[in-house]
Amino acid sequence: MYLLGNNGVSSVFFFTLSIFFFHISASVINDVSDIKVDSINAPDRLLPRGLISKRSLVVMFGALFSLGLICGLVVDWLYAIIAATLGSLYVIFYSFILPMKSNPLGSFLYLSASGLALPMIGVGIINRSLDLQTLILALLLIALGSCASISSIKDIKGDSLMNKKTFAVLLGFNRSKIFSSILIFIPLFLYPLLPLYLGLSPIFYWLLIIPGIIRFFLVYKVNRASEPNVLSKYGLVYRIIISVDAIILVLSKS
């Protein structure tokens, strides 16, 4: 919101909360739909272990989604309505009706867009500025967030057994590591385009050293992985990359 000119502290605060509650509620309902896969990929989670019921998770989803809606209404009515309607349909279709995770493109887009691009589109709605420039910026942010693709690689075993055709299942373990490494590296060439859309100061290019080093580290670890489960412990690293990208964009705002 700061990057696109909305500097109100309360607006930024409640928008952040709305994104948080919407995102975590989607994760809750996704756990309900993925219980069989998680029993293989993540047997330590509460639902596969029987420590929480599906009904409790559905109630939790409703509560968290409602909190996201309330926070969204504080910021902007149109944003809240679109998030409540299209957002809820997106989650339901993704998890149950037309599972996006069951096809290569859907699994890639869900992982890559969630961190930076979807919140940016949300701000575009709030600012009534969903023009071509904002959409191009969203595409750039999808590329920046594509480092999250390693999440599909670590889940190959369970996704394959459950016939989920993610890009990692389609490519296989070794080729998906190469593909993911390319996705992690691509932003190094796309970073210079961001100042064209956001009016960033020259310090941006110096700050790029930080995510650049982390990206090289992640690529090294991805290619060193001998089996999919090894990549589970690097989920935090790609989240750090996405967070660092957001922070340096804000710090570089002219």
**Taking CA 55 as the corner, what is the angle to CA 51 and CA 60, rounded to the nearest 5 degrees?**
85
Short-list 33, 43, 183, CA closest to 104: 183
Asked whether 48 and 38 are in contact (CB, 8 A), the reply is yes
pLDDT given for residue 99 in this prediction: 60
pLDDT given for residue 168 in this prediction: 86
Checking if the pLDDT of 16 tops 80, the result is: yes
Report residue 189: phi and psi, to 5°: -95, -15
Helix (H) or strand (E) holding 218, with range, is helix 209-224
49-73 pLDDT, tens digit each: 778 888 888 898 889 999 999 999 9
pTM for the full model?
A: 0.83
24-35 pLDDT, tens digit each: 988 888 777 777
203-247 pLDDT, tens digit each: 999 999 999 999 999 999 999 998 888 888 888 999 999 999 999
Checking if the pLDDT of 110 tops 80, the result is: no
pLDDT band at residue 98 under the 50/70/90 scheme: low
CA distance 69 to 204: 34
pLDDT given for residue 131 in this prediction: 84
Higher per-residue pLDDT: 94 or 90: 90
Task: Compute the average pLDDT of residues 38-45.
Answer: 73
Short-list 224, 218, 157, CA closest to 185: 218
